[in-house]
Amino acid sequence: MKPLKKIVILVSVIFFSSIFCVSAQNTGKKTILLNGGKKGNINFEHHMHQAIINDCLICHSFFPQKPGSLDESKDSGTIKAKQVMNTVCIKCHRDMKKAGKHYGPLQCSGCHIK
């Protein structure tokens, strides 16, 4: 086998196994309907945010990667009501706006749907 061919094969093996590693991770649902209390629920684009953010812990250091964990963490008092909304969601949207980038909603009705 020619050395170049060997390299091509090696590179493809590394490339495809790295894709496999990423897809082996459970990235959860594509969109998730979040409980927004009296204000109305939030239709959250989970995978779209994963693509933008690239670091699960920006959100999941506050609540685990499991369905219903946001409400559970609020119920158990690990996080306060509106803490994630203010210190994670709105904070980033505001920072992105300041930086002149694409940003998410800052107004209540941009996130909370009735």
Tokens of 70: 């946001």
Residue 112's φ and ψ, nearest 5 degrees, are: -80, 115
Q: Does 7 bind ligand HEC (CB under 6 A)?
A: no
Residues 6+ apart with CB under 8 A from 103: 93, 94, 96, 97
From the list 9, 11, 13, 52, which residue makes contact with ligand HEC (rule: CB under 6 A)?
Answer: 52
How many whole angstroms separate alpha carbon 112 and alpha carbon 114? 7
Stretch near ligand HEC under the rule CB under 6 A, chosen from 1-9, 13-21, 46-54: 46-54
From the list 11, 14, 19, 106, which residue makes contact with ligand HEC (rule: CB under 6 A)?
Answer: 106
CB of 4 vs ligand HEC, minimal distance in Å: 35
How many whole angstroms separate alpha carbon 30 and alpha carbon 65? 13
Where on the chain is the footprint of ligand HEC (CB under 6 A)?
A: 25-29, 32, 34, 36-39, 42, 44-46, 49-50, 52-53, 56, 58-60, 65-71, 74, 81-85, 88-90, 92-93, 96, 102-108, 110-112
